[in-house]
Amino acid sequence: MQEHDMSWVRTEMALAQPAPAGERGLYAWVRKNLIATPSDTILTILGIVIVAWILPQAINWAFINAQWTGPDRSVCATVAQGGIQPDGWTGACWAFVNAKFGQFMFGTYPIEERWRPILVAILFVAVLVPMLIPRVPRKGLNAILLFLVLPVVAFFLLVGGVFGLQHVETARWGGLLVTLSLSFVGIAVSLPLGTVLAMGRRSKMPIVKMLCVIFIETVRGIPLITVLFFVSVMLPLFLPAGVSFDKFLRALIGVSLFAAAYMAEVVRGGLQAIPKGQYEGADSLGLGYWQKMGLIVLPQALKLVIPGIVNTFIGMFKDTSLVLIISMFDLLGVVKQNFADANWATPQTAKSGLVFAAFVFWLFCFGMSRYSMFTERRLDTSYRK
């Protein structure tokens, strides 16, 4: 047996040393992230060239050279184009956006009545924000307010014709008002309808299943424009003579049906991911079909597919811009309509208007996707990782 005379056990931990000099500080970061290998260095140079080419131009255009206020096109046009700017000037014409801001938001909604959409927007935010913050209690009441009370109030406020409010026909609605109301109704209709369709597709009743499959696959196979054509051209033919639909309502039906088909596929993915034991467990407790679905399966399934649901919402929000093809004026439609305004026609008008619209759309979509990521993390009760 071998004997160790010298035995030594560390009784106190050695002090933590700082990382070697080559591993910390700006230089180490640069070396690791920008110039790790020769090809990396080439890529970095390429990236710097791209950024150096685009960024100053973009900042110059959007901020430094931009015209923020002005009465008409002259502030955004060069001398040669009949304006006041020097030759070779390019910059954003925010004055155009500024002058048309009311139209971009409300379309041709009567100016003295615009407090109504503003009030609806305030109510909407007031009901939506507590709904989105997890810590605020009474989610059930909140949901009833948001999905049942608010739509009714908003309908009477926006359309009018009662309580002494002036009637405003939907043809005069426009801008962000149309974009938001179309998307809100689309979301509120497509989620329940899509869920029902998904359940129908997984139903054991062959006829119900077949009908759901035909609907979902047909709608998913054709572009939204075709669906909008369908509702705007065919719906009037389907109804008895004399009965006619509001154009706004037709667009609503088209957008909702289209989104419902996509939503159905998302929800189906969630339903399929729920293990069979959950269904059987619910059965063995003696729950009926709707109880089983409503209390056991759907809460788990919908939670699983939150990212997909929000992606469908984002897609639908973007798709509402297509209603301009059946000559309705959502945000993009109004912006585009205003390019034709001779009072503001300059080479910069179109670009500025579109960048503004893009920014508004981007803000909403990016916000939705970030919120979905937040919810996904919060609801993640699984033991993965």
Partner 1 sequence: MASQEILRGEPSRGSFINDPRVRSLFFQVLVVLLLVGSLYWIVNNVIDNLRRLHIASGFQFLGSRAGFDISDTPIAYTSDSTYGRALVVGLLNTIIVAVAGVITATIIGFVVGIGRLSQNWLIRKICTVYVEIFRNIPPLLVIFFWYSGVLAVLPPPRESIHLPFGSFLNQRGFYFPRTVWGEGNWLILVALVLAIAMAWFVAYRARQRQMVSGQRFPVFWTSVALIVGLPLLAFLLSGMPLTFDFPKQSTFNLTGGFQIKPEFLSLYMALSCYTAAFIAEIVRAGIKGVSKGQSEAAGALGLRSGPILRLVVIPQAMRIVIPPLTSQYLNLTKNSSLAIAIGYPDLTATAGTVLNQTGQAVEGVFIMMIAYLVLSLVTSFVMNIVNARMALVER
- Structural tokens at position 123: 């109510």
**Which C-beta is closer to partner 1: that of 114 or that of 336?**
336
Cα 169–171–175 angle (5° rounding)? 115
Length of the chain equals 385
- Give the residue with the Cβ less far from partner 1, 148 or 222: 222
- 154-173 burial, b at 16+ Cβ within 10 Å, e below that, comes to beebbbbeeeeeeebebeeb
Question: Considering the rule CB under 8 A, would residue 66 count as an interface residue with partner 1?
Answer: no
Q: How far is the CB of 50 from partner 1 (least distance, A)?
A: 7
Q: Which is nearer to partner 1, 85 or 168 (CB)?
A: 85
Pull the structure tokens for residue 195. Answer: 């869920």
Using the rule CB under 8 A, give the single segment among 77-85, 107-115, 217-225, 374-382 that binds partner 1: 217-225
Q: Which of 253, 324, 328, 334 binds partner 1 (CB under 8 A)?
A: 324
206 touching partner 1, by CB under 8 A: yes
Question: What CA–CA distances, in Å, run from 21 to 18, 160, 253?
Answer: 8, 71, 65
Applying CB under 8 A, what is the total number of residues that bind partner 1?
55
211 makes contact with partner 1 (CB under 8 A): yes
Based on CB atoms, which residue is closest to partner 1, 150 or 224? 224
By CB under 8 A, residue 185 contacts partner 1: no
Cα separation, 376 vs 309, in Å, equals 11
59 lies in the site for partner 1, by CB under 8 A: no
Q: Which of 27, 366, 371, 374 is close enough to bind partner 1 by CB under 8 A?
A: 366
Q: Which helix (H) or strand (E) holds 167?
A: none
Q: For residues 298-317, which are near partner 1 according to CB under 8 A?
A: 314
Q: Is 38 in the site for partner 1 (CB under 8 A)?
A: no
Segment lying near partner 1 (by CB under 8 A), choices 163-171, 246-254, 298-306, 353-361: 353-361
Residues 244-263, one symbol each (x = binds partner 1 by CB under 8 A, - = not), give --------------------
Verify binding: residue 365, partner 1, rule CB under 8 A: yes
The C-alpha atoms of residue 205 and residue 202 are separated, in whole angstroms, by 9
Q: Which is nearer to partner 1, 123 or 355 (CB)?
A: 355
Spatial separation of the C-alpha atoms in residues 332 and 361, rounded to whole Å: 9
Cα 117–Cα 357–Cα 184 angle in degrees, nearest 5: 45
| 158 versus 320: smaller Cβ distance to partner 1 | 320
Q: How far is CA 366 from the centre of its chain?
A: 7
Q: In whole angstroms, what is the distance from residue 187 CA to residue 311 CA?
A: 12
Strands (E), the chain: none
Rounded least distance, CB 90 to partner 1, Å:
9
| Backbone angles phi and psi of 93, in degrees to 5 | -105, 70
Q: Which residues pair with 330 in a beta bridge?
A: 175
How many whole angstroms separate alpha carbon 222 and alpha carbon 239? 23
Binding residues for partner 1 (CB under 8 A): 33-34, 36, 40, 43-44, 47-48, 50-51, 204-208, 211, 218, 221-226, 229-230, 233-234, 236-241, 314, 318-319, 321-322, 324-325, 332, 336, 339, 347, 350-351, 354-355, 357-358, 361-362, 365-366, 369
